[in-house]
Each structure stands twice: as structure tokens, then as C-alpha cells.
A = this chain, B = another copy of it.
């Protein structure tokens, strides 16, 4: 649970999630390219790779290898009911 919030605390990681929410099954290079083009994000490939590792640790992103590329997909399940415990009407 801490992992999920910690992963979401970084703006670049939220951009990556935005990108994967818009289009599934992107490789590291695709994600890097789109972050630069669409959001002016200048993070290096290695930086994005490490962000993706954090997102995978939080189970927010799933990945599979396809030849020499690694394909990433958003997994929104950990986000469901994440804040429900503080939103109870009592």
C-alpha cells in the first residue's frame, strides 16, 4: 500500500501512467518518446526505466518481454478503493 502511494507521488510516474492509460502495450522507447513529445519531459531512458520498475513493484504496471523489447501495460486494480477508508460517511 505504501508502495502504491509512493509510486504515485512522482509526477513523471503519473505521466507514465497517463500514457499507458491512453495506449496499452508500449515499450520503454515508446514511452520515452511520447513523454518528450507530448509533455516535454526530458527524463533519460534509464530514469524512465527505473520509474517503470517502481511502478511494477507497486503492481501498477505489468510487463512482458517480446523479443528485444519490453511491453508495458497499466494495471489499475491497486487504485480501486485506495482512499475509501477515509471517505466513509459517518
Contact = CB atoms under 8 A, between A and B. Distances in A.
Interface of A: 1-2, 5-6, 8-11, 14, 17-18, 21, 74, 76, 79-80, 82-83, 85-88, 90
A6 B21 CA distance: 22
A6 B14 CA distance: 13
Given A5-B6, A76-B83, 17 more contacts: A1-B11, A2-B9, A5-B8, A5-B9, A6-B9, A9-B9, A17-B86, A18-B85, A18-B86, A21-B86, A21-B90, A74-B86, A76-B86, A79-B83, A79-B86, A82-B82, A82-B83
Nearest to A17: B86
Q: In the assembly, how many copies of this chain are there? A: 2
